[in-house]
A = this chain, B = another copy of it.
Amino acid sequence: MKEKDIHSLIFRTFSQGKNVVVGPGDDCAAIDIGGGKLFLMAVDQIVSEVHYVSGSTSASEAAVKLINRNLSDIAAMGGDPAFALLTIATKYADSRWITGFLRSIQKEASKWKISICGGDVSSTAKDVTVCTLTIAGWVDKKRICLRKGAEAGDFLYATGSFGNSFNSGHHLKFVPRIEPAKFLAGKYTHCMIDVSDGLLSDAGRICESSKVSLVLNQSSIPLRKGANIRSALSEGEDYELIFAVNPSKSAELERKWPFKKIKLTRIGTFVPGRKGSIFGTGMNLISSAGRTGYEHFKS
């Protein structure tokens, strides 16, 4: 099975209770547990030789990547992280690796006042390490950002720059965009995603969920050092935010953007077209609906 088939099977198979406001298919699940806030939950994993290379990635780098990938999902919803659970499955419980891994998880968690309040440890039969982190947090009901909600005419904005994430090591040391997301959520946007699978792929998810298409101004996309437009569009692991902004709020957003070290760039405009296509500025088709990013499975 391809990942897409597994996802579609998940959507068909799992039924949601009525207090599940957002179920599978967005960056986090959002649950209404009463009051003005929604409870957010997401889980992510890092697998040796898939998400990091054992020989060249330190335990600390792997840990930082794991927790920050999850935090990026909380950011994409406009939320605040609060609690986490950790699992480790590994063949050899190497003392140095595990100590470095746990300490780095705690170090990152401290930055965001997250309590790592539970977990599980297991062995594996072969030399594969799989670690998961479940993150939970909160978002104001009125501020939650989803993949759906972009309208034709809205601008697409991006934080930071794109491409060359693997070779530059960005994927191991990025800062999750929690603070920018909280500034944006509810006030400037209700439609946001973090770019993990590639700009085209994740912008495509906004288009599909929102039933609109997008004209992308490729020449405006900020490139990370060493990146070309191809890697900026497709490589992924940028962990930047892209989000839809109504044109009436665009000037104010650019004027009030308080993050001096984080670029804010308008990179496109949503247009009518329920197919979720992405065009260049000359209306050349760059990407069709259903485009996927990194594919985990061969068949």
Contacts and interface: CB of A to CB of B under 8 A. Distances in A.
B16 A50 contact: no
Contacts of A86: 43
A98 B15 contact: no
Contacts of A13: 102-103, 106
A121 B123 CA distance: 20
Contacts of A82: 17
Given A1-B93, A29-B83, A41-B134, A126 B127 contact: yes
A42 B105 CA distance: 18
Contacts of A106: 13-15
Interface stretch (A3-11, A141-149, A203-211, A236-244): A3-11
- Copies of this protein chain in the complex: 2
B9 A98 contact: yes
Nearest to A22: B117
Interface string A101-114: 01101100110010
Nearest to A127: B126
Interface of A: 1-3, 5-7, 9-10, 13-17, 19-20, 22-24, 28-29, 31, 33-35, 39, 41-45, 47-51, 82-83, 85-89, 92-95, 98-99, 102-103, 105-106, 109-110, 113, 115-128, 130, 132, 134, 136, 296-297, 299
A299 to B, nearest CB: 8
A115 B30 CA distance: 11
A95 B127 CA distance: 24
B43 A123 contact: no
Given A23-B115, A29-B83, A128-B130, 20 more contacts: A1-B98, A3-B121, A6-B93, A10-B119, A13-B102, A14-B105, A14-B116, A16-B115, A20-B115, A24-B116, A24-B117, A29-B85, A33-B39, A41-B134, A43-B85, A51-B122, A93-B297, A123-B296, A124-B130, A126-B126
